[in-house]
Amino acid sequence: MEQRTAAITFKGTPLTLLGPEKTVGDIAPAFCVLDGNLDEVCLSAYKSKVCLISVVPSLDTPVCEMQTRRFNQEAANLPDTVALLTISMDLPFAQSRFCSVAGIDRLRVLSDHRKAAFGEAYGILIKELRLLSRGIFVIDAQGIIKYVEYVKEITEHPDYDTALDAVRKLL
């Protein structure tokens, strides 16, 4: 598996990302993750939609919570032809609890904990921590990646506005 040494940092400490770096124009790799009921959810379920995938290390941290809340709020301003997903390595049960407490009801929160298939396919799995790094992927209705952000310092926020503009350009 490809390893990208010092691709990101955590509080200034360099970390390695596993998997290939995705770029605009790449075909979005297929993946399956778990929902709160332990049912598989695959990217193919969204093949006719624009898909914004918000990736967070853990919902139980302040920046990850704020990122998830922000996209949940933004979902209200987007049509049904857009799917917003948040993916982390958190256990599905913990994700369900978080969503219930935080009022997350407009986007799907999904877990990659079982196989890390999403993390490896999108080059966003942190080798040293077995967590996903922070990032955003926007995929068009034909399955092509149209926006990518790997946040260099995972304690920082992604560029919400640019990611949302990428989604709106596809509508």
| Residues annotated as part of the active site | 64
Element holding 67 (H helix, E strand)? helix 62-75
> Of 121, 6, 129, 118, whose CA–CA distance to 55 is shortest?
118
Tell me the HSE value of 39 on the side-chain side, using a 13 A CA sphere. Answer: 7
Instruction: List the end-to-end C-alpha distance of the chain, in Å, as a whole number.
Output: 35
3-state helix, strand, coil in the chain (%, to 5): 25, 30, 40
User: What does residue 85 show for φ and ψ, rounded to 5 degrees?
Assistant: -125, 140
The answer to whether the beta carbons of residues 97 and 58 sit under 8 Å apart is: no
Cα 142 → chain centroid: 19
